[in-house]
Chain A
Amino acid sequence: MNYRGPFRVRADHNKPDPEILHPQDAIVRVTRSCICGSDLHIYHGLVPDTRVGTTFGHEFTGVVEQVGTGVQKLKVGDHVLVPFNIACGSCTFCKQELYGNCHESNPEATAVGGIFGYSHTAGGYDGGQAEYVRVPYADVGPTIIPEGMDLDDAVLLTDVVPTGYQAAEMGGIKKGDTVVVFGAGPIGIMAAKCAWLFGAARVIIIDHLEYRLEFARNYSQCEAYNFKSLGDPVVFMKKTTGGLGADVCIDAVGAEAAGDTMQTLLGRKMLMTGGSATALHWAINSVKKGGIISIVGVYGPINALVPIGNVVNKGLTIRANQASVKRLLPRMIEHVQAGRIDPKGIITHRIPLEEVSEAYHIFSAKRDNCIKPVLIPPKAEMRA
């Protein structure tokens, strides 16, 4: 695929195939590639330094076609799932398992590690919504897909499952806690699902798209409310949690939150802030004193508007990060194999890569009850 400007992407048959540029590179032939809520931020033109002509896609599986001279573990023919973070494995952050914060993969910025197909602000790499992709540090990230695992499950282990899980993990959930998740997209739905694994007694999910709330009720087995019909969502949250507020609030919305005109205007229309921080604002105000806020929703690099005074006065703990996919993978694979998490259950659309323009539109405009779309390149078998 080829990005041409906000809301414009197209299938491109003329882009040259990627080449090995570093001894630890591999070239991977893509077999599955998802579109993520994060892709919407770049598709909508909200992430600075998103250059025309680049290819998006950070959630993909594929077969290794070629390896550089320095690659030792990965072999041609291996079918791998590739974490969305590009991580060297040897910098101080990688060594401490902060694979989402690698310091050797993104020259353009220090605040964020390298990410496949996610603008030059995240390293200027082409992504996996393509037939072939260059995968740096091939011995670090790529993980062989376990025997018998469905490709549709495997591709969701590259981002959605570990991100949802880490959202719950960062919440420091204790048995009996009430957990509120803002956002019923793939990430929020997965976070709500995972909150149970940590012993939550009540899980509540908030969104304004009725079909997603309905989906979450079934898939995440949680309560689901439409903030449009709640009046003031913060007051509702206080009331429903016995007056004090939730124990843990998770922001799984990020920069494109709806629900507040001023935030939307400044953050999404005028691009004067790092995004519309409405969900985070509600999270801070809905959690109890001494509570924990976990943020996985993505924001731009510029200041966002949040009630930081309340964070101080309420003694809140904020924990946030890009998911460290590699750190979590072994545990995630166990959960999938034990049937505790059913990743492919959230896939609603399987679309040929050729129809990438339509796929983006469907996911972005939330048409046809879309939860999670996966793109299938022409050379990939529909089932493998």
Chain B
Amino acid sequence: MEDKNIASVKPFEKERENLADNYKHINGWGIDADPENEPTYPMKTYTGDDHNRLEWERPPLQIQTVEILKSIEHPRLTAVYGTVAPPSGLSGMIRRFAFKYSESTYAHWLPLVFADRINVVEGIVDDLAHGHIPNIFAEKGWKAEWKYNRQEFVQNIAITIAVATAAIIIFSKSKKKKKKSLFSF
């Protein structure tokens, strides 16, 4: 599974002591290098270790028991990972597709957002399949809305009902009109 191209980048560290020798052909190599010019301090305790690339001593590797979607920018699976909610169903198919593309592309992220929405429907179906009718109002915490924002809450519900009723009336009227015009032909 390892991507040889990335994993086999030659470790730099071993050559560092005689680095200057490697660049004798470049006039002035390194003369302005300033170890104090380190904008990541104090976030990072810079050691130069980055130049060893992926050559650190790895922790033991977690044994893979479920499908893990790996970013194609990773040459290998990380030593640990979460195993919850492995990809499944239609959303899983879309996620697998998304992971064919790098984190640098819309082709990765937009399908994932889309899969998330599909996954919500799958969640409801799954609830029902397990004999659980999801109480969406309770899940949205509307009990708290009732407690702390009652006036607006009631108002919003009233508005929703009013709009819905108006829509139904208009819709049914226009239907009747259509029928009439049909007959007047």
Contacts and interface: CB of A to CB of B under 8 A. Distances in A.
A and B: bona fide binding partners:
yes
B31 interface: no
A258 interface: no
Contact of B43 (A48, A110, A319, A368): A319
A261 to B, nearest CB: 22
A271 B56 contact: no
A357 B84 contact: no
Interface in B111-139: 112-113, 115-117, 119-120, 122-124, 126-127, 134-136, 138-139
A361 B141 CA distance: 5
Nearest to B148: A367
Contact of A54 (B65, B85, B127, B144): B85
B106 interface: yes
- Which of the listed residues A9, A52, A362 has the most CB atoms from chain B within 10 Å of its own CB? A52
Interface stretch (A21-29, A218-226, A228-236, A248-256): A21-29
A92 interface: yes
The prevalent SS among residues of B at the interface is loop
Interface in B86-108: 91, 95, 99, 103, 106
B28 interface: no
Q: How large is the interface on B (under 10, 10 to 19, 20 to 34, 35 or more residues)?
A: 35 or more
B81 A96 contact: no
Contacts of B171: none
Contacts of A357: 138-141, 143-144
A195 to B, nearest CB: 16
A121 B112 CA distance: 10
A66 interface: no
Instruction: Using C-beta atoms within 8 Å of the partner chain, give the interface range for chain A.
Output: 35 or more
B140 A92 contact: no
Interface stretch (B19-27, B44-52, B157-165, B177-185): B44-52
Chain A residues touching B, majority SS: loop
Contact of A92 (B39, B56, B59): B56
B4 interface: no
A106 B80 CA distance: 7
A338 interface: no
Given A90-B58, A367-B144, A126 B84 contact: yes
B82 interface: yes
B123 A123 contact: no
Contacts of A91: 56
Nearest to B123: A52
Nearest to A324: B43
Contact of A170 (B43, B95, B99): B43
Contacts of B53: 92
Nearest to A274: B109
A120 interface: yes
A120 B59 contact: no
B141 A137 contact: no
A136 B43 contact: no
A99 to B, nearest CB: 10
B69 A108 contact: yes
B112 A48 contact: yes
A75 interface: no
A169 B126 CA distance: 47
B48 to A, nearest CB: 9
Given A6-B120, A107-B77, A49 B95 contact: yes
A53 interface: yes
Q: Which of A50, A104, A166, A367 has the most chain B CB atoms closer than 10 A to its own CB?
A: A104
Interface string A309-341: 000000001010100100000000000000000
Interface of B: 39, 42-47, 49-50, 52-53, 56-60, 62-63, 65, 68-71, 73-74, 77-85, 91, 95, 99, 103, 106, 109, 112-113, 115-117, 119-120, 122-124, 126-127, 134-136, 138-145, 148-149
